[in-house]
A and B are shown apart, each in its own frame.
Chain A
Amino acid sequence: MSDHLLEIKNLKITVATRRNVLNLVDNLTLAVKKGEILGLVGESGAGKSMTGSAIIGLIEKPVKISGGEIWFKGKRIDQHPDEVRGHEISMIFQDPMMSLNPLWRIGDQLIEVITTHMNISHQDAIKKAKHCLVEVGIDPSRMNAYPHTFSGGMRQRVVIALALAPNPSLVIADEPTTALDVSIQAQILDLLKQICKTRGTSIILITHDMAVISQTTDRVCVMYSGRLAEIGITKEIMAHPQHPYTKGLVASTPQIDASSFEKMLYQIPGSMPALDNIPSGCAFHPRCEHAHDKCRAERPEVLSNRAACWLLDANEGQ
């Protein structure tokens, strides 16, 4: 048995337009281990949310999963996502109001989620709901309050409580702190991390912020144009990125560091290609200063279990 909770194999997500078929996610393979926090990082449009939606079964027409497999706890779920959604796998969105019903007291929302997914009495559900609020740092006396009486940060805490209430084994958090203040962002991420570490819950954290990745995740998967660019242990990737795109992302992230005050930032030349105009070979090759003929001609496989880049191919050299 592998220690993988979730396995995505050659996932392909497409949408047909009048003129052509666009690959939103293209041949993505990755796995999430039990209890780990995996970051999914990349620029806007890289396919991060699509990947998250596919796992939890929220892909809607005209977009569709047109290839690959998703396995969860040894069962294939891409055909029957309903069996695990909300109960084994739950989701936290950027906007807390996506997950909250404005007309319901937060206590009732928690109890509803708990009784739907767990086989327990109403009395126990109330107890459990209170415990969930305490866990996210909200006074259980606020059970009767409505969402609008909370600040943005507190609402996101309630959403975390809701997502974790049915004891899921996997939480997908899609930009959970992007809409929040800097000072609250760190608190929320720490909270999520600490609860999941105590419970042994795995997290897929979707973000475009390298600093958040570095602070929160155990492993990270970097996506570019719907494809995997690099995957590995976060510390290693931050310290020694292998894919030129990851190198660029790390280098162009502003950091508070005496040596960079008032200095120019590193910048990756050019911009991410449009979906209907993905370059041949490696999608990143037009922006890569190390690109050679093979990069232009042939799409790189993931080499050394790490990066989809021909530069890692020892035989190729430069």
Chain B
Amino acid sequence: MSFIIANHLTRQYDLSDPWIVRMLTSNKRKQLTAVDDVSFSIDKGTTYALVGESGSGKSTIAKMVVGLLAPSAGAITFDGKMINDETISKADRQRLRRRIQMVFQSPYASLNPRWAVGDILKEPIRAFGLFDSRADQDKRVNELLDQVGLSARDANKYPHEFSGGQRQRISIARALSSQPDVIICDEPTSALDVSVQAQVLNLLKTLQKEFSLTYLFISHDLAVVSTMANKIGVLNEGKLVEEAVPSQLFAKPENPYTKMLIDAVPDFGKV
């Protein structure tokens, strides 16, 4: 059975002028449909990738899946439970939040510069009440740092003391700290150099195997996606225009938009 199911997800943004301006100018309300009736499902332990150009609605979907943004219509089911159900209890919601974590594109913006790395990693541990004693929390921090290829000494350092790739490892460690089942990766390597990108992508794969993590992986880079995804969904202007496994999508793209995206990738191989 699918672990995550997005069912007819739609999200509109209201771009209207304030009502008083509308009254005076008789401008109509303006709605932007950023995500338009998108459905997909992800099996446990697999990676589903969403690709598309800037503004196609990728991050909007990510935010809805992680619960940061409510859908205008449609629903997300996670492990048999509806995430956006109003009737869900506070305790259940907290439990769901622990199980779905997110890694963002910019490791600069997403890490609090005033906190030492150890505190950044402990915050979710405390918030979700995972380990009570300080000793256990410290042990867990060391374990997390080790899992992402950093050392226990790094717990006392601050984010600015790390390179971009190392900072992204810290973001991943923080996502792991609440022992999630799902990680939403929104352009996790777009700000990184190729050699650093390879390290971070490999790390994500190793962790996936070790903890049977489920990934929703968002990127505009088809080459990256081709090495990461078990299944790929192509977004164009908020609509899912094609979905396929990599071997099929790249060999026989069916949608003209998908073809255009693939043709735009510099052909590295043909030298």
Point out residues on A near B: beta carbons under 8 Å.
Answer: 43-44, 181-183, 185-187, 189, 208-212, 214-216, 234-235, 238-239, 248-249, 252-258, 260-268, 271
Chain B contacts for A256, CB-based, 8 A: 222-223, 226, 250, 262, 265, 269
Inter-chain contact A44/B164, CB cutoff 8 Å: yes
Residues of A within 8 A of B228 (CB): 262
User: Would B197 and A252 count as touching, CB distance under 8 A?
Assistant: yes
CA–CA, A252 and B198, complex, Å: 6
Contact of A267 among B198, B220, B260, B269 (CB under 8 A): B198
Query: At the interface, yes or no: B54 with Cβ under 8 Å from chain A?
Result: yes
A276 to chain B, nearest CB (A): 14
- In the bound complex, do residue B261 and residue A183 qualify as a contact, i.e. CB atoms below 8 Å apart? yes
B264 contacts A182, C-beta separation under 8 Å: yes
Within the complex, what minimum Cβ distance (angstroms) separates A240 from chain B? 10
Report whether B261 and A182 are in contact in the complex, using a CB–CB cutoff of 8 Å. Answer: yes
Which residues of B (214-271) have their CB < 8 Å from a CB of A?
220-224, 226-230, 246-247, 250-251, 260-269, 271
The residue of chain A having its C-beta at the shortest distance from the C-beta of B265 within the complex is A256
Tell me, yes or no, whether B194 is within 8 Å of chain A by CB.
yes
Interface residue B152 (Cβ < 8 Å from any Cβ of A): no
The B interface, classified by DSSP as helix, strand, loop or mixed, is helix
Q: How far is the CA of A260 from the CA of B198 in the complex (A)?
A: 13
Residues of B close to A258: CB separation below 8 A: 247, 250-251
B38 within 8 A of A: no
Chain B residues within 8 Å of A234, by CB: 271
B156 within 8 A of A: no
- CB-based A-B contact count at 8 angstroms: 114
Contact B202 A264 (CB under 8 A): yes
Question: Is B53 among interface residues, defined by CB-CB distance under 8 A?
Answer: yes
Q: Known contacts A249-B195, A256-B223, A262-B227; is A214 also within 8 Å of B264 by CB? A: no
Q: What A residues does B88 contact at CB under 8 A?
A: none
Q: Is the pair A261, B226 in contact by a Cβ cutoff of 8 Å?
A: yes
C-alpha spacing A268/B224, complex, angstroms = 17
Of all chain A residues, which has the CB nearest B230? A262
- Cβ-based interface call for B199 (8 A): yes
B165 at the interface (CB under 8 A from A): yes
* A58–B250 CA distance with the chains assembled, in angstroms: 44
Task: Determine if B265 and A264 form an interchain contact, defined as CB atoms under 8 angstroms apart.
Answer: no
Residues of B within 8 A of A260 (CB): 226-227
Q: Is B130 part of the contact surface with A, judged by Cβ < 8 Å?
A: no
Is the CB–CB distance between A255 and B223 below 8 Å?
yes
Apart from A258-B250, A265-B202, what are 6 other A-B pairs with CB-CB below 8 Å? A209-B266, A211-B223, A215-B266, A248-B195, A254-B227, A260-B227
Instruction: Identify the closest chain B residue to A44 (Cβ).
Output: B193
B205 on the A face (CB < 8 A): yes
> Complex Cα distance A261/B229, Å?
8
Q: Kindly provide the distance from the CB of A187 to the nearest chain B CB, expressed in whole angstroms.
A: 8
Instruction: Report the bound CA distance from A109 to B183 in whole Å.
Output: 48
A237 CA to B119 CA, complexed, in Å: 46
Min distance, Cβ A68 to any Cβ of chain B, angstroms: 26
Q: Are A211 and B268 in contact (CB under 8 A)?
A: yes
Inter-chain contacts of A257 with B (CB < 8 A): 226, 269
